[in-house]
Amino acid sequence: MDWFLGTDTATQKLVGMAVAILLFVVVMGVILLAVDRPRRVPRWVVVAAFVGPALLLLAFGLVYPGIVTIRASFYDKAGSTFVGLDNFVTAFTNEQFLIVLRNTAVWVLLVPVAATAFGLIYAVVVDKSRWEKLAKALVFLPMAISMVGASIIWKFVYEFRPDQPGVNQIGLLNQLLVWLGIPPQQFLITQPQNTIFLIVVLIWIQTGFAMTLLAAAIRAIPDDIVEAARLDGLTGLGMFRYITVPSIRPALVVVLTTIAITTLKVFDIVRTMTGGQFGTSVVANEFYTQSFRQNNAGLGAALAVILFVLVIPIVWYNIRQMRLSEDVR
């Protein structure tokens, strides 16, 4: 039994994963069979059979860890001594963590707005054009790449080599600078603009998501509204400002808030490209660093709680807007 439950080797991990999947399939099969066999089953039994496993998974995989994390945020790095709000005071007063919070704020302000703006403009420009499908596919392709994969791609784009005879630049951006007679730059090291260069990666990824949703919303605008606007003399920017944008406002809100939530949780890009060094760390990356690199469980938990609190109002606003849009329909 110890061998099956162990995680010392790759084989043990694979066997443990296979056993867990098989156990899940067996349990769900037994539940479905038990519900389907009797002719008359009380409604509460059916509800419990289908909803119960999901609620248990949420309780053990989300609620319980959340409670443990909140509790740990009030204890010291070893988790043995109660320190009250000291970890939160450190997070909001220490210069290192103030830079982390500043970077997170810059990410949340720039990424949703830029990605949504680019996605909206692109969706309007290519709408009903001859190469619409191909154009949309090209912009959506980055969404199919993992954030780690995208980070590696852009790390090569930003790659720096010393400006010396016989040394060739392998970074696309620096090679372009050399061709223009400009010295190569260390894009990922120079502060504070290195944060902006990291932000570009997420904008590149999320623009396809924004374009897809907004293009669908634009297609859903009733033709009679568009025709009436044209009869009134609206064209070009006037049509975009007074018809397109107001008509797709619910979709815009959903896109903005969804990308904002994704941005708050950004970890892969920062970890892969800079490791949080050179003043580029964000809350999600610092939470990982403090918890698993510095072994400061209390401060890491406090940062996780801060991240959770920041996400709540965005999620609430998103849900509220979705309900309002449904009421209008």
**Hey, what are 225's tokens?**
């509204």
For each of the domains in the chain, give its residue range(s) and CATH number, in order of start: 2-82 (no CATH), 87-328 (1.10.3720.10)
Q: Return the pLDDT at 7.
A: 57
Q: What stretches of 185-244 show up as alpha helix (H) in DSSP? A: 193-219, 223-231, 236-239
Q: What pLDDT does 136 receive?
A: 86
Q: What is the pLDDT, as a whole number, of residue 36?
A: 64
Kindly state the tokens that stand for 142: 């980055």
pLDDT at residue 5 is higher than 90: no
Q: If you average pLDDT over every residue of the chain, what do you get?
A: 85
Judged against a pLDDT cut of 60, whether residue 2 lies above it is answered with no
Q: Give the pLDDT score at 6.
A: 54
Question: Which is nearest to 259 in space by CA: 158, 101, 65, 120?
Answer: 120
pTM across the whole model: 0.82
The residue to which tokens 């690199």 are assigned: 293
Could you report the per-residue pLDDT of 60-109, keeping only the tens digit for each? 888 898 899 999 999 988 888 899 899 999 989 988 899 999 999 999 99
Model confidence at 326, pLDDT cuts 50, 70, 90, reads low
Q: Is the dihedral of CA 292, 296, 297, 299 positive or negative?
A: negative
DSSP type of residue 211:
H
Q: 192 preceded by cis ω (within 30°)? A: yes
pLDDT over threshold 90, residue 127: no
Mean pLDDT of the 308-320 span: 84
Separation between Cα atoms, residue 146 and residue 82, nearest integer Å: 40
pLDDT band for position 225 (cuts 50, 70, 90): confident
What is the distance between the alpha carbons of residues 318 and 329, in angstroms, rounded to a whole number? 17
Q: Is the per-residue pLDDT at 151 higher than 90?
A: yes
Q: How far apart are CA 172 and CA 254, in angstroms?
A: 35
Q: What are phi and psi of 82, to 5 degrees?
A: -75, 125
As a whole number, mean pLDDT of residues 297-314 equals 89
Q: Range with the lowest mean pLDDT among 21-25, 27-31, 228-232, 277-281?
A: 27-31
- The answer to whether residues 141 and 207 touch, using CB atoms and an 8 Å cutoff, is no
Residue 41 has a pLDDT of: 65
Q: What is the pLDDT of residue 200?
A: 95
